[in-house]
Each structure stands twice: as structure tokens, then as C-alpha cells.
């Protein structure tokens, strides 16, 4: 990597001064600067005050270049955010490893799990103030189609998304977005946690799609960050039995610490590779069915002939098939993981058990606010989920660590 030339309206004490705590909380009382007293410089001086607009630009396979880009100026309903933390998502990693479904045709800026401090606002901004701490909501819906008007932004027919080409993401020191993309953060939530609000909002949507979880038996297949957050949501909603399944033994070990009450299982790795061959598909299904039946017996759900709810959070074919066979008759299956466009799916089990099948994509109205409340109330722990923080100057190190599977959640800290 080579360097180159809405809803909460909670008063927040701004703090971007060198040497001060990175986020207001228990140390807030020690500071004397109030929101009204804290002065942010005019646009022409923002660059000097913040150290320039350092931006991590993905230029090719596993290659970032650090560029000092022009300072963006907020117009209309836009706000200028000093980005403080950005979580790395699996989608970002796919672009880094050139595995994305949308190959890059030009240098691109990743990042869509970010938070920061509002430095400046455009003339039409009404609800966000200078100095507020905000989570950046990365969806770019049109806000005028029938789905947007119903709050179903993830269905928007003109959908755009930060960090998805051709739109650049948030992995820069300074970022401009509409005030509609800023969700105020309360005091006491660290920058590391705030950089994970977006995936928690995705888990909130998964829980909504799953329906009532209280007193239910819930299994999550795929224990990456999204699967772990889904387990945490199920626990917060009062699920009776929690089951965690992953092919990666180290992730299963992490579940034991993160959700101690969950019953954990490592999925055998010797499942046959799927192919168009019918015999191979039957072999895969038999393998997954046998494993699912053993899980059902071990968690004490044999009397019900399966579990109430299964969330598939990996997109892997064997996980999908296993998830379907974990369910009882009349159970609910939620597909949250994004895998191959075409995959083996046990339709006989679907019809025979009269299962309810639901997809879950991103989030809808209120998911960010719900996610923030869950963290603020202590119902969901994001601190433990963040296993590594890296400065943006070492962005390739952060992505390589995530690619190796060494970490659960890597957050790039942009406070240099």
C-alpha cells in the first residue's frame, strides 16, 4: 500500500479534540466544552483542522492506495462527517479479494459500516446539528417509490448503496451524505461499537422477519458477525433454546464465550462437493439430514421433531440444506446469508413440513434506531464482538486479518 498526493434527538457533547476521549460516556463529565461552545471551522479550514481527507482507495486485487482527496462541501440537505470508525464487512472483503459479483472497473472506496462527528451541515439540513455523533446509514433509496413510502427501503426499485459501485463508500477521513443517512448516537456508545451498528441493524431486520422469538427454539447456521448478532437478538427477545452451528471450530468456540447459553455444534467438513450430478446432490442431502437429526436429538427437540426457527447466515449450500432439515413441521426458515445465485434446495422438506420460508435483506425503517437502543440498554454486547481494531494507515493489514479468519469483527479506527 503506497500513500499518495432522525429519530433519537439526544443532546450529545461533541469531542474531536486531540487528547480527549474518543467518545462521550463516563468521561463526559470531565469535559467542559458544550455543544453550543464547540466551534467547527468554516469549510475552507476543515481540511487543516482534521488533517486532510485521507482516503483508502481500492485499486486492484488486495491493493489499497492512500490518497489525500479534496474536502467535500455539504450542499442542500447534506452533512459533512468526520468518520471515526468503519467496520469491515464480508462484502468489502469480496471486493478486496476480487470475488464480488460486480467486478471493479475503476478505483473504488469501500466501507459502509461507519460512524463519526458532524463537522458541517448544508443550508437545508433541519434535524442534524454540528457536533452530533452519528451512525451512517448506507442505503441510498429514492424515497419516492411505493416501497420507500412504506418504509421498505430494501425493496427500492432505484436502490443505491454506499460502497457498491459506482457509489464510493465511507473509508475516508471526511464523508458527505444526506442528513437522512445520519442516525444520532447517544452518549456512552464507543466508536468501536458505533462502527458495528449497521450489521446489528441487519440482524434486527432478520429478527423481524423471523417473527415472534420469545419461548421459541432458534438455530443460527453460520456464526460470522451477522450470525452472532442474530443469536444475540434471539436471546434478547427471550428465545427458549439457542443453537449455533458453523463449519469453523474457532467461531463455535467464540459463541461459547459470546452466548454461553447457546448449544454449539461444528458442522462436519467432509460433506461432498455439490455438482449438477443428481447422485452428488442426494449424497449432500443425506449427509446434511443426518447431521441435522443428530443436532435435534442433542438439543432435546426430538419430541417436537425439530426446531421452531432457523436462520441461515452464511449462504453455504450445505448450511441451507442442514437448516431446512433442522425445522419442525410448521417451522420458520429465514435466509439471510448471500451465497451463489443458484443452489440446492430441499423442496420436498419444504412442502412436507409446510414450512414458512422468508428472505431477509439489509434493513428497513427503524432498524438502526432499534439497534442503537439494544446497545444502549445493554441487551446486545458489541464490544466483545470487535476482536481487532486497526488504524486506516494499515488498512491492508486489517483486510488480510479478516480474510484469514483470525478475527470475528475488524474495525478500522480513523482517529489518526
Q: What is the pLDDT of residue 381?
A: 96
The pLDDT > 70 percentage for the chain reads 84
β-pair partners for 349: none
Q: Which residue from 163, 5, 147, 151 is spatially nearest to 89, judged by alpha carbons?
A: 163
Q: Which residue from 223, 263, 224, 257 is spatially nearest to 240, judged by alpha carbons?
A: 263
β-pair partners for 390: 412
Residue 47 clears pLDDT 60, i.e. is over it: no
What's the rounded mean pLDDT across residues 47-72?
87
Mapping DSSP to helix (H, G, I), strand (E, B) and coil, where does residue 274 land? Answer: coil
Residue 92 confidence class, pLDDT cut points 50, 70, 90: very high
Q: What is the pLDDT of residue 228?
A: 98
The 10 Å Cβ neighbour count of residue 126 is: 8
Residue 330 confidence class, pLDDT cut points 50, 70, 90: very high
Residue 133 clears pLDDT 50, i.e. is over it: yes
Residue 406 confidence class, pLDDT cut points 50, 70, 90: confident
**pLDDT tens readout for residues 269-288:** 755 555 556 677 888 888 89
Q: What is the pLDDT of residue 123?
A: 97
**pTM score of the predicted model:** 0.85
Peptide bond into 166 cis (omega under 30): yes
Mapping DSSP to helix (H, G, I), strand (E, B) and coil, where does residue 258 land? Answer: helix
Sign, CA torsion 179/33/171/56: positive
Residue 159 confidence class, pLDDT cut points 50, 70, 90: confident
Q: Which residue from 394, 388, 390 is spatially nearest to 407, judged by alpha carbons?
A: 388
What's the rounded mean pLDDT across residues 28-35?
31
Mapping DSSP to helix (H, G, I), strand (E, B) and coil, where does residue 332 land? Answer: strand
Residues 6+ apart with CB under 8 A from 167: 140, 160, 161
d(CA 336, CA 270): 24
Q: What is the pLDDT of residue 8?
A: 28
According to CATH, the topology of domain 2-196+382-413 is: Quinone Oxidoreductase; Chain A, domain 1 (3.90.180)
Q: What is the pLDDT of residue 275?
A: 55
Residue 304 confidence class, pLDDT cut points 50, 70, 90: confident
Which class does domain 201-359 fall in? alpha beta
Min mean pLDDT across 125-139, 155-169, 321-335 is at 155-169
Residues found in the chain: 416
d(CA 416, CA 412): 11
324 phi and psi angles, rounded to 5 deg:
-65, -40
Cell of 219: 438455530
- Do residues 200 and 192 make contact, with C-beta atoms less than 8 angstroms apart? no
For CATH 3.40.50.720, the residue range(s) in the chain are: 201-359
Mean pLDDT of the chain: 86
Query: Measuring CA to CA, how many Å separate 40 from each of 14, 23, 48, 171, 375?
Result: 10, 17, 11, 22, 29
Cell of 100: 464480488
| First CA to last CA distance, the chain | 17
Min mean pLDDT across 41-50, 185-194, 214-223, 332-341 is at 41-50
For CATH 3.90.180.10, the residue range(s) in the chain are: 2-196+382-413
Helix (H) or strand (E) holding 120: strand 113-121
Amino acid at each position: 500500500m503506497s500513500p499518495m498526493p432522525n429519530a433519537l434527538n439526544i443532546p450529545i457533547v461533541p469531542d474531536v479534540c486531540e487528547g480527549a476521549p474518543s467518545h462521550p460516556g463516563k468521561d463526559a463529565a470531565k469535559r467542559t466544552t458544550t455543544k453550543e461552545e464547540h466551534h467547527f471551522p468554516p469549510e475552507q479550514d476543515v481540511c487543516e483542522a482534521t488533517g486532510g481527507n485521507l482516503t483508502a482507495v481500492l485499486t486492484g486485487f488486495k491493493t489499497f492506495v492512500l490518497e489525500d482527496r479534496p474536502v467535500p462541501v455539504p450542499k442542500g440537505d447534506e452533512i459533512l462527517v468526520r468518520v471515526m470508525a468503519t467496520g469491515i464487512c464480508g462484502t468489502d472483503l469480496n471486493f478486496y479479494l476480487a470475488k464480488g459479483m460486480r467486478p471493479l472497473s475503476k478505483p473504488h472506496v469501500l466501507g459502509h459500516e461507519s460512524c463519526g462527528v458532524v463537522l458541517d451541515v448544508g443550508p437545508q439540513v433541519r434535524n442534524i446539528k454540528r457536533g452530533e455523533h452519528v451512525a451512517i446509514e448506507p442505503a441510498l433509496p429514492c424515497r419516492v417509490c411505493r416501497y420507500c413510502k412504506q418504509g421498505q427501503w430494501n425493496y427500492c426499485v432505484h436502490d443505491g448503496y454506499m460502497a457498491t459501485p459506482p457509489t464510493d463508500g465511507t473509508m475516508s477521513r471526511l464523508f458527505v451524505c444526506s442528513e437522512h443517512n445520519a442516525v444520532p448516537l447517544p452518549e456512552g456508545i464507543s466508536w468501536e461499537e458505533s462502527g458495528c451498528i449497521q450489521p446489528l441493524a441487519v440482524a434486527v431486520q432478520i429478527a423481524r422477519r423471523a417473527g415472534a422469538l420469545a419461548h421459541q427454539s432458534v438455530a443460527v447456521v453460520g456464526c460470522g458477525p451477522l450470525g452472532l448478532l442474530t443469536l444475540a437478538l434471539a436471546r434478547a427477545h427471550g428465545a427458549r433454546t439457542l443453537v449455533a452451528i458453523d463449519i469453523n471450530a474457532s467461531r463455535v468456540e467464540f459463541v461459547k464465550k459470546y452466548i454461553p447459553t447457546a448449544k454449539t455444534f461444528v458442522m462436519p467438513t467432509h460433506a461432498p462437493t455439490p455438482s449438477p450430478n443428481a447422485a452428488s446432490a442426494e449424497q449432500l442431502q443425506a449427509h446434511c439430514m443426518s447431521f441435522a437429526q443428530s443436532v435435534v436429538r442433542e438439543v432435546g427437540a426430538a419430541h417436537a421433531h425439530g426446531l421452531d426457527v432457523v436462520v441461515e447466515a452464511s449462504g453455504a449450500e450445505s448450511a441451507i440444506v442442514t437448516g431446512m432439515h433442522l425445522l419442525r413441521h410448521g417451522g420458520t426458515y429465514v435466509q439471510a446469508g448471500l451465497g451463489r445465485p443458484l443452489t440446492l434446495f430441499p423442496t420436498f422438506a419444504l412442502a412436507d413440513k409446510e414450512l414458512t420460508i422468508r428472505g431477509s435483506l439489509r434493513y428497513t425503517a427503524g432498524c438502526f434506531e432499534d439497534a442503537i437502543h439494544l446497545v444502549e440498554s445493554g441487551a446486545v454486547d458489541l464490544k466483545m464482538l470487535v476482536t481487532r481494531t486497526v488504524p486506516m494507515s494499515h488498512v491492508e493489514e486489517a483486510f488480510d486479518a479478516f480474510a484469514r479468519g483470525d478475527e470475528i469483527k475488524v474495525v478500522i479506527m480513523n482517529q489518526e
